[in-house]
Amino acid sequence: MPDPDLQRDRVYVSDSVVTEAPWARAVIIAFAAIFLALFLLLPLGLIFREALAKGIGAYWEALTDPDAVTAIQLTLLVAAIAVPLNLVFGVAASWAIAKFDFPGKSFLITLVDLPFSVSPVVAGLVYVLLFGAQGLLGPWLQSWNIQIVFALPGIVLATVFVTFPFVARELIPLMQEQGAADEEAALTLGASGLRAFLTVTLPNIRWALLYGVLLCNARAMGEFGAVSVVSGHIRGLTNTMPLHVEILYNEYNFVAAFAVASLLAILALVTLIGKTFLEWRYGEAIAHGRR
């Protein structure tokens, strides 16, 4: 149970006279509010307006279209594979980085962050160059009849690449701050290493883990550029939801495009709500809330 004291609002609202003049304050707030409304809220609202432009019937029809359904299924499947893979990686990497000292640690952290800085298109390209028909391992894979690019494995690999740092990034600063004393205490009390991990470490990091998984999942389901390059756009087969949105949009089927897009927008909103809730309720237990 978190200490109520630790959940103070982070905003510094002061009665101090040393602040901006009221008019300046109003201008700044107005700028922020109008800018964000025009830039963020308007596009978001537009998605739902366009999706429902021809009524709820057309909306529902677009979502139950067989190609749309397979796209939804594929997106869920890809996320269901990619997110756990990055979860395990994130926990392993942060365990090693946060609980132990070794040379080259900060370089390793930089490498973990690397995929953030790589264009999604480049992320897709590298897998095509590695596993594609003309790629390094292409001929070898073909001789074994293994299809990676333009198939599910390629989509999963590209998704894992672009979501690679999410969980690790949330855990490393938190676990570094928590140190190793809790685990050591469990060991002195007779717990095995695994037991200490399960009963002490995991509960200590659970909210940060959930936070990381939430963000990782949002990106995994929404990834477009990288997946676009490796998927081959085979309708009803290797089309994820974002790719399906693109196809429908380019076919001028706006209602259907925005209908599928609205599902992804809802995912984004759920992610934001979950994220905000975690920051508000468990701010002390996640690295993000402690800023």
Partner 1 sequence: MDIRVTDLAKEFGGARALRGVSLHVRSGELMALLGPSGSGKTTLLRIIAGLETAERGSVFFGDTDATRLSVQQRHVGFVFQHYALFRHMTVADNIAYGLRVRRRSERPSRAAISARVEELLALMQLEGYGGRHPAQLSGGQKQRVALARALAVDPRVLLLDEPFGALDAKVRKDLRAWLRQIHAQTGHTTVFVTHDQDEALELADRVAILNSGRIEQVGAPDEIHEQPASAFVASFVGDAARVPVRVLGGKAMFGETVLEAPGQAMADGAGWLWLRPYDLRLTGKGAAVVAGEPAGKLDGVIVGVRRTANGRRVEVRLQDLDVIVEADAPAGLSCGHGEQVSLAVLGGRIFPDNAK
Partner 2 sequence: MSVAAAAAPARRPFFRKTGALPGFGLALGYALTWLGLIVLLPLAALFLRASSAGLAGFAATLSDPRVQHALLISFGVSAVASIAASLAGLVIAWALTRYDFPGRRVIDAMVDLPFALPTAVAGIALAALYAPDGLLGAPLARLGWQVVYNPIGIFIAMVFIGLPYAVRTVQPLIAELDRELEEAAATLGASRLQTVFQILAPPLIPAALTGLALAFARALGEYGSVIFIAGNLPGVSEIAPLLIVIKLSEFDYTGATVIAVIMLIMAFLVLLIINLIQAWSRRRMGNA
Question: Would you tell me which residues interact with partner 1 (CB under 8 A)?
Answer: 1-3, 6, 101, 181-182, 184-192, 195, 199-200, 203-204
Q: Are 263 and 63 in contact (CB under 8 A)?
A: yes
Say if residues 73 and 84 touch (Cβ distance below 8 Å).
no
Nearest approach, Cβ of residue 43 and partner 2 (Å): 4
Q: What is the footprint of partner 2 within residues 246-285 (CB under 8 A)?
A: 246, 249, 254, 257-258, 261, 264-265, 267-269, 271-273, 275-276
Q: At its nearest, how many Å lie between partner 2 and the CB of residue 209?
A: 14
Distances 86 to 161, 170, 285 between C-alpha atoms, Å: 9, 12, 20
Residue 99 sits in the site that holds partner 2 (CB under 8 A): yes
Kindly report each contact of residues 181-186 with a partner whose C-beta sits within 8 Å and lies 24 or more positions away, as own/partner. 183/99
If the CB atoms of residues 65 and 208 are measured against partner 2, the closer one turns out to be: 208
**Which stretch, 54-62, 63-71, 97-105, 140-148, contacts partner 2 (CB under 8 A)?**
97-105
d(CA 60, CA 211): 31
Cβ distance to partner 2 smaller for residue 112 or 209: 112
CA–CA separation, 281 vs 284, rounded Å? 8
Residues in CB range of 233: below 8 A, 6 or more apart: 239, 243, 247
Q: Which one of 63, 72, 129, 151 is in contact with partner 2 (CB under 8 A)?
A: 129
Spatial distance between the Cα atoms of 93 and 125, rounded to a whole number of angstroms = 26
Per CB under 8 A, the list member of 184, 189, 199, 203 interacting with partner 2 is 184
- Quote the least distance from Cβ 285 to partner 2, whole Å: 14
Which range touches partner 2 (CB under 8 A), out of 23-31, 61-69, 140-148? 23-31
Whole-angstrom CA distances from 183 to 38, 199, 204, 239 are: 49, 9, 10, 45
Kindly state the smallest distance separating residue 11's Cβ from partner 2, in Å: 6
* Distance separating alpha carbons of residues 247 and 94, to the nearest angstrom: 39
- Would you count residue 102 as binding partner 2 (CB under 8 A)? yes
The verdict on 68 binding partner 2 (CB under 8 A) reads no
**Collapsing DSSP states into helix, strand and coil, what is residue 176?**
helix
Applying CB under 8 A, does 59 fall inside the site for partner 2? no
Dmax over CA atoms of the chain, in Å, equals: 76
Work out how close the CB of 212 gets to partner 1 at its nearest, in angstroms, rounded to a whole number: 18
Task: Please provide the size of the chain in residues.
Answer: 291
Binding partner of residue 157 among partner 1, partner 2, none, CB under 5 to 8 Å per kind? Answer: partner 2
Give the shortest CB-269-to-partner 2 separation in angstroms.
8
